[in-house]
Chain A
């Protein structure tokens, strides 16, 4: 007799499967499905147990828990991300072009832009190199004045208004 070979372990495991997931095979965990289907094929008593468990699933099916809520649709969609329309894109482009044309009403915006860029680069170069020259020049003048003052023979000549004690 095949059902006499059903181990208590298999019986308990199958009962637990039905307790948790019911009798619908598509609700069973994938890892147990083949094993459970083999058991049903092999043992008629397992098949009976499954058919008994099916009753509860059929009752649960009577309540789908999907109330018609279509009236909420518009309210939800009104809060969804909005796509920028083609008209809006065109308007923004026109606005940008309008601002540019106000700043430079002539054709060929690249000309004043390139002139500005060249002038800017030249200014930066000049600004970064000329302070060194000025600084070095100032240092040299001060140093030579000190040397002349301290070492020179014309010390007294530097103070024509009187002698120093």
Chain B
């Protein structure tokens, strides 16, 4: 981080490369909107640059970034009073994540699975979406994820359990088809 504060181009580039896609992914999961998610990720980095001179060594950069992005996403959601992701946004998510896989049958099937999973995730409340993304997709420990979301570990576990239960229920009907394609 000291290198970032001193304006080391390589250190900044490495940091952005390591976290950018993941931050956009988290914000997109929460807001359901790609351009909004990109704005959130950019703003998170801008805040990191500003903070770099006063950075405390004990803080973990990834956790800090995720926390800022999470809070910005919550603000954006509250501002728009958005409860559910629109159908258009769901389509956007699927297209963006699988845009390079369109011409082969197997890839089409893969796209279908991703779309169904994304659709199921997008129907969860935003805090459950965030909890599952942080723990499952970002491999965060329960304490780290709870810190990012500014909640207790018990509250996080409650969100995770409810979220996973809802996903299981939503995906159970097409489970055989989906799992057949993944194998």
Contacts and interface: CB of A to CB of B under 8 A. Distances in A.
A73 B182 contact: no
Interface in B2-29: 4-9, 12-13, 16-17, 20-22, 24-26, 28-29
B148 interface: no
Contact of A59 (B20, B52, B179): B179
28 contacts: A16-B157, A20-B161, A21-B135, A22-B164, A26-B139, A55-B175, A57-B136, A58-B179, A59-B182, A60-B117, A62-B113, A63-B114, A64-B97, A65-B137, A66-B21, A67-B25, A67-B96, A69-B20, A72-B41, A73-B13, A73-B17, A76-B41, A76-B42, A77-B16, A80-B7, A81-B5, A81-B7, A83-B7
Contacts of A84: 7
Given A16-B161, A81-B49, 7 more contacts: A20-B160, A58-B182, A63-B117, A63-B118, A66-B21, A80-B9, A81-B5
Contacts of B121: 60, 63
B61 to A, nearest CB: 14
A82 B142 contact: no
A58 B28 CA distance: 21
Contact of A65 (B4, B5, B26): B26
Interface of B: 4-9, 12-13, 16-17, 20-22, 24-26, 28-29, 34, 37-38, 41-42, 45-46, 49, 52-53, 96-97, 110, 113-114, 117-118, 121, 132-133, 135-137, 139, 141-142, 157, 160-161, 164-165, 167-168, 171, 175, 178-179, 182
- 8 A-B pairs with the lowest CB-CB distances in the bound complex, closest first: A83-B7, A65-B25, A19-B161, A80-B12, A66-B21, A20-B160, A81-B7, A69-B24
B16 A76 contact: yes
A67 B97 contact: yes
A68 B150 CA distance: 28
Contact of B171 (A56, A64, A80, A82): A56
A70 B19 CA distance: 11
A75 interface: yes
A76 B45 contact: yes
B114 A62 contact: yes
Given A56-B164, A59-B182, A67-B25, A72 B141 contact: no
A60 B136 CA distance: 8
Contacts of A81: 4-7, 12, 49, 52-53
A64 B9 CA distance: 28
A127 interface: no
Interface string A39-74: 000000000000000011111101111111110110
A30 interface: yes
Contacts of B6: 81, 83
A82 B20 CA distance: 20
A7 interface: no
A23 to B, nearest CB: 11
A76 B46 contact: yes
Given A21-B135, A21-B160, A63 B97 contact: yes
A72 to B, nearest CB: 6
A58 B183 CA distance: 10
